[in-house]
Structure 1
Amino acid sequence: MHVLFFDIDGTLINTGGSGVESLRLAFSEVFACPPPDAIPTSGRTDRGIARDLFQSRQIANSEENWLRFHAAYIRHLREQLPLRPGRVLPGVVRLLDELAARRHVALGLLTGNVEEAAWLKLQHFGLDHHFAFGGFGERSGERNAVAEDALAAARQALNGGVHPDRLWVIGDTPLDVQCARHIGAQAVAVATGLHDRADLTRAAPDLLLDDFSQPGVFLQRLDEAKAA
């Protein structure tokens, strides 16, 4: 069984900025002050983003503040998703359909989104039915910890049937490649997010794609690994 962990933003979908706008609105609402002009989000976890936002305005990084911020963020995200010109990225639907048809493949998530936000985004774009488990961004500010959670979730969902040499992490940032290495997975990088091929090449993924418009390239690599 091959276990494939997908990132969401910049890999499967582009939400048209609904996530960042929801972060801004939630922060202003809960703490009655504006967030910084720039909010770095690429490859990061929501918990880590919140920590840095709090620090930028000398707000305590407490569980209470996190929970208030999280609740407001989810509420605004529900409102913003339908208002923004988001889209599913090229080739994603076909790729997921092809993978879902393969008995030797299990699909999971490895995302910096908090779990509720992850499912909201995937449901909005009609992709949620492909995934049953994952690691999410509410527990830790570090993506490697999310990768550990994703691996644990896969083992639980598959009754322990996870082989280290059949793990894959698919994402659009160097941090996705880094966390793949952390759990011993193969890394597939796709240049559909904020990082170009040069950035991703420096991260040294096992496979680098411009997008998934020709999913056969990745599917062939998967089949070769299955036969090995």
Structure 2
Amino acid sequence: MTPPPPKAVLFDWDNTLVDSWAVIHHAMTATFEALGQRPWTLEETKRNVRKSARDSFPELFGMRAEEATEVFYRTYEADHLQQLRALPGADAMLRRLATAEDLLLGVVSNKRGHLLRLEAAELGWERYFGPLVGAADAARDKPAREVIDFALAGSGIAPGPQVWFVGDTDIDVLCARNSGCTAILVRAEPPGEGEFGNLPLGGHVSDCKTFAQLTLSALENGKVEQQIRDFS
């Protein structure tokens, strides 16, 4: 089913709006090595990094999760702003969407909240967003519904199909499902066979430019044009 036009668009951050795999992989490598474990390859990092450190590190490092968290964030914070790169078309997309009337733009990320807001400020993007919500800002992190409720609090917009959650991985789709929102996949690769199981996906577009065009058209015409690929 084609999704309704959005009242709010909430974006994932890492690898939806910014290219951050290199710095994440470097910090994960340092963490595994510090704790005497085999580091992941870059492909393993891309495949496995989904949850916040608050949720994933106890699973990965057990009783040493606190130590691992300290190493990871110390390494990450050393150069994340220097390594920060917007994905192609992301800045232009946000500029265009920010001109739309009555459309709330926000971010819901599993990156720690203060780091997320530092990166948004470094790119000059904080002016585009209302909520900039990261890990540990809400009672629970993505994919829990609480993080969406936290992001929309005070906006007058309730979680539902007219809130689009835009991301690139299964945890983004799951977060949308858990909160009753519409999941939109924005990445070059279409969904793989069975990648999202029975999770509802509102659609897929290949890049930021296309997403901006479709969103603005939906707001103007009251419907989403058929260029969005429907997987529901």
Which band: TM-score by shorter chain?
Answer: 0.7 to 0.9
Residue aligned with 2:191, SS:
helix
Q: Residue 197 of structure 1 corresponds to which residue in structure 2?
A: 190
For residues 161 and 191 of structure 2, the distance between their equivalents in structure 1, rounded to whole angstroms, comes to 27
Q: Residue 45 of structure 1 corresponds to which residue in structure 2?
A: 52
Question: How much does 1:91 deviate?
Answer: 1.8
Residue aligned with 2:15, SS:
coil
Matched residue pairs, number? 210
Q: Aligned runs of 1:127-206 on 2, under 5 Å?
A: 127-138=125-136, 143-145=142-144, 147-156=145-154, 158=155, 160-162=156-158, 164-192=160-188, 196-199=189-192, 203=196, 204-206=200-202
Q: Residue 124 of structure 2 corresponds to which residue in structure 1?
A: 126
For residues 167 and 97 of structure 2, the distance between their equivalents in structure 1, rounded to whole angstroms, comes to 16
Q: What RMSD in Å do the two structures reach over aligned CA positions?
A: 3.1
1:22 aligns with 2:39: no
The two structures have a TM-score, normalised by structure 2, of 0.74
For residues 148 and 200 of structure 1, the distance between their equivalents in structure 2, rounded to whole angstroms, comes to 30
% identity of equivalent residues: 20
The two structures have a TM-score, normalised by structure 1, of 0.75
Unmatched tracts of structure 2, length 5 or more = 1-5, 225-232
Per-residue CA deviations over 1:126-179 (Å, capped at 9, x if unaligned) read 32332232443336786321x4223233123x2x44363421100011221221
Question: How much does 1:200 deviate?
Answer: 8.2
Relative to 1, partners in 2 of residues 1:109 and 1:47: Cα closer, same or farther, differing over 3 Å? same
Q: Residue 115 of structure 1 corresponds to which residue in structure 2?
A: 113
For residues 21 and 179 of structure 1, the distance between their equivalents in structure 2, rounded to whole angstroms, comes to 27
Unmatched tracts of structure 1, length 5 or more = none
For residues 74 and 160 of structure 2, the distance between their equivalents in structure 1, rounded to whole angstroms, comes to 38
Residue aligned with 1:113, SS:
strand
> Could you tell me whether the CA contact under 8 Å between 1:3 and 1:168 is conserved in 2?
yes
> Could you tell me whether the CA contact under 8 Å between 1:3 and 1:167 is conserved in 2?
yes
Q: Residue 207 of structure 2 corresponds to which residue in structure 1?
A: 211
Q: What letter matches 1:171 in structure 2?
A: G
Relative to 1, partners in 2 of residues 1:176 and 1:41: Cα closer, same or farther, differing over 3 Å? same
Relative to 1, partners in 2 of residues 1:53 and 1:42: Cα closer, same or farther, differing over 3 Å? closer
